[in-house]
Chains A and B, each alone.
Chain A
Amino acid sequence: MLETATQGIITGILMGAIYALIALGLSIVFGIMNVTNFAHGDFVMLSMYLSFAVGSALAWDAVATPLITAPLMFLFGIITYYLLIDRTLRQMYVVQLAVTVGLQILMRSAALIIWQAQPRALQYSFIQGNIQIGDFQILTSRLFSAVVSLIFIAGMAYFMNKTWAGRAMRAASDDLGAASLMGVNYHKTYALTFAIGSSITALAGGLVMSFQQTDPVGGIRFGLLSWAVLALAGLGSLPGLIVAGIIVGVVESLTVSFFDPRSRLLGVYAIFILVLWLRPRGLFGRR
C-alpha cells in the first residue's frame, strides 16, 4: 500500500516535470499574447511525429531529435502566427476559438494523411532501463526527461527576466500600448513568442517520444493536460508551473495505481474543475 503510493508519487513527479514543460509553451503564448490556442495539444502531437520521422530516417535517438524538430516547429510557429493567429488578434474572442479548433482538425487530418492511423514509436532510446533504489524503481528515460524539462524551464525563466527579447515579451503582455511606445514591435514580438512556444513543444515531443508512442488523436490528452496545469499554476509564474505539473502528474499516477488505468485523467479533471471553481487565478497566479 505505502510502497505502491511511494512508487506512484515518484513516477508522478517525473511525469509532472514533463507536463510542466508541455504546458510551458501554452503558458507563454496564453500569458503573453492572451491567445487561446486550442490546438496546443496537437502541436505536441505534430512534434512527436516529426521526432518519429527524424529519428527513424537518421536512426537518431528520440531525445536528440529536437535538434532538428525544434527549428522546424519554430518555423511552423511563425507561419501559423502570420497566417492565422495574427488575423484573429483584433477579432472577437470566439473567432480565435473557431480558427484554432479548425487548425486542430487540420493538423490531426494531416497527421492521418502522412502517417496513417496506427500508432508510431521509435526504437528504444539509449536512456532506456531503470534505476533501482531500495524497493523502488525509476525509469531512466523519465528521469532524464524530467531533469531536462526542469533545466529548460529554469533557462526560460532566465530568458524572460534577463534578456531584452524576454523583457519585451513580458512588457507586451503587461501593457501593449506602452510597450509599443518603447519601441517594441508587437507583431514581431508576438511572432517570436508564438514560435518559441511552438518550438518548446518540439523539445517536449522529443522527450515524450523516448518512452511513448504517438497517434493522430493523441493531441487531445496533451491539450487538456496542459490547460489543467496552466489553470492550476495561474499565469506568469514559472516555478508555479513546475509545482502544478507535479501535482497533475502525481494525481494522474496515483489514480492509475489505486483506481483504474482507464480513469487516468479523471483525477486530473476533478482538480481542474475544482480549481476553476475555487481559485480561478490558479495557486500561484500573478493576475
Chain B
Amino acid sequence: MNVKNFFNPRNILILVGVGIALVIPLIFKAGQYTMLLMTTVLLYAILASAWNIIGGMAGQLDLAAAAYLGLGAFTTGTLLIRWNITPWVGMIIGGLVATLLAMLIGFPLFGFKVKELWYALSSSALVVVMQSLFMMWNEVGGPTEKYLPVGTSPWYSLRFNDYMPYYYIMLIILVVVLLVNRWIRYSKLGYSLLALGEDEDAVEVLGVNSQSSKLKALAIYSFICGVVGGIFASIYGYVHPAFFDTSMSMEIAILGIVGGMGFIYGPALAAIVMVSFREVLRASLGSQLAGLYLAVYAIILIVVALYQPRGIAPLVERGIKKAQTYFVELTRGRRADIKSS
C-alpha cells in the first residue's frame, strides 16, 4: 500500500472521523452520561464491524454476538473476582474462551453445511442456551449480579471513576478492528469469504476449503466479541446472565446489514448513526413513554432496510465518487477546456 493510495477520499474521511472522535471528549468536557453513551456507541460500532467479517464477508447470518460478548465478560469478571487477575489479561483469555466455544459450535455446523436461516436460528438459540446455563451456574453467574472489585489501582482492575478511559480504549479497539477488517478484505481469506457469500459450491470446486475459511472468520469475530465483553464487564462493574442478550445480538446483525454488508466502514457508520440516534431518542422520549423510542427506532430500521437494501455504505460511496469527480474537474478544468477547444 503506497502513500498516494492511502490518502484517497474514503480514508481521509475515516481519519477525520477518528480525529473528531479523539478530541470530542476533550473539547466539550462531556458529562458522565454523555461519555457512557458515546462509549456504548463505540461498543456497537466495534461489534457491528466484527460482525461484518462473519456476516458481511462470509455471508453467515450470525445472531450470537452477545453469546461471545457475555462469555468474555464472565471470563474476565470471574478471573478478577476469584484470582485477582487483571482484566487486561482477562479480556484476552475471555476472547480465547469465546473463540473456543465458537469453534466447538462452528466446526460441526459448517461441517454439516448448516447455513442461512438455520445458521441464524442456531446462533440465536446459542445466546439463550448460554443465558440459561449461566443462570443455573451459581458459582460464576446466577440471578444476582456479581460485582467486580475496584482494588487499589484502577489501571490494574480496569475500574475507573469516569468513562473517559473506557471511551479511548473502545476507540483504539474500533480502529484496530477496522484495520483487521481492511486486512482481511484484501487478503486471500477475504476474497474466499466474499466468493463464499456469492456461491459456495462454485468456490468449493475452485479448491477453496469453505469450512476452514468460515471457521477463520468466525474465530476472529468471536475473539473480538469476547475481548469487548471483558471491557463491557469493567464498564458496568458487574457480570450478570442478562449480558447474554438476544435482542442485542440481533441488533448487531441488523446494523451490519443496514450499514452495507462487506463494506469495511459501513457497519461502524451505521452503528454510530443509528445507536446515537437511538440514545438521543431515549433521552428525549424515554421519560414520557417507555418503549416509544424503541418503536421509532424500529420503524427507521425497517424503512432503511426496505428502501436502501444494500445498506447506507453504497450511498456514501456514491457521494465520495461525486466529490472526487468534482475535485478532479476543478483542478484539471482548465486543461480540459483547452483540449476540447
Which residues of A come within 8 Å of B, CB atoms? 36, 38, 84, 87-88, 91-95, 97-99, 101-106, 108-113, 116-117, 216, 220, 224, 227-228, 231, 260, 262-263, 265-266, 269, 272-273, 276-278, 280
Contact = CB atoms under 8 A, between A and B. Distances in A.
Nearest to A92: B309
B306 interface: yes
Nearest to B118: A276
Given A36-B117, A101-B254, A276-B122, 15 more contacts: A91-B309, A99-B305, A105-B247, A106-B294, A108-B294, A109-B298, A112-B290, A262-B132, A265-B128, A266-B133, A269-B125, A269-B129, A273-B122, A280-B112, A280-B113
A38 B257 CA distance: 15
A134 to B, nearest CB: 33
A48 B125 CA distance: 23
Contacts of A94: 61, 257, 261
B116 interface: yes
B295 interface: yes
B208 interface: no
Please report whether the interface of chain B is mostly helix, strand, loop or mixed according to DSSP. Answer: helix
A269 B292 CA distance: 33
A106 B291 CA distance: 9
Interface string B106-124: 0011001110111011101
Interface in B95-152: 108-109, 112-114, 116-118, 120-122, 124-125, 128-129, 132-133, 135-136
B128 A113 contact: no
Contacts of A84: 302, 306
B136 A263 contact: yes
B37 interface: no
Interface in B197-215: none
14 contacts: A38-B250, A84-B306, A97-B120, A97-B257, A98-B305, A116-B290, A224-B121, A260-B136, A265-B128, A273-B125, A276-B112, A276-B114, A278-B112, A280-B118
B289 interface: yes
A219 to B, nearest CB: 10
Nearest to B293: A109
Interface in B50-76: 61
Interface string B275-310: 000000000000001111111011101100110011
Contacts of B247: 105
B57 to A, nearest CB: 13
Contacts of B299: 102, 106
Given A92-B309, A220-B128, A113 B297 contact: no
Given A88-B306, A105-B247, A231-B118, A113 B290 contact: yes
A272 B125 CA distance: 9
Contacts of A265: 128-129, 132
A216 B295 CA distance: 13
A262 B136 contact: yes
B297 A224 contact: no
B219 interface: no
A237 B116 CA distance: 22
B295 A106 contact: yes
A269 B124 CA distance: 10
Nearest to A103: B302
Nearest to B290: A112
A196 B249 CA distance: 30
Contacts of B112: 276-278, 280
Given A105-B298, A273-B125, A99 B135 contact: no
A209 to B, nearest CB: 21
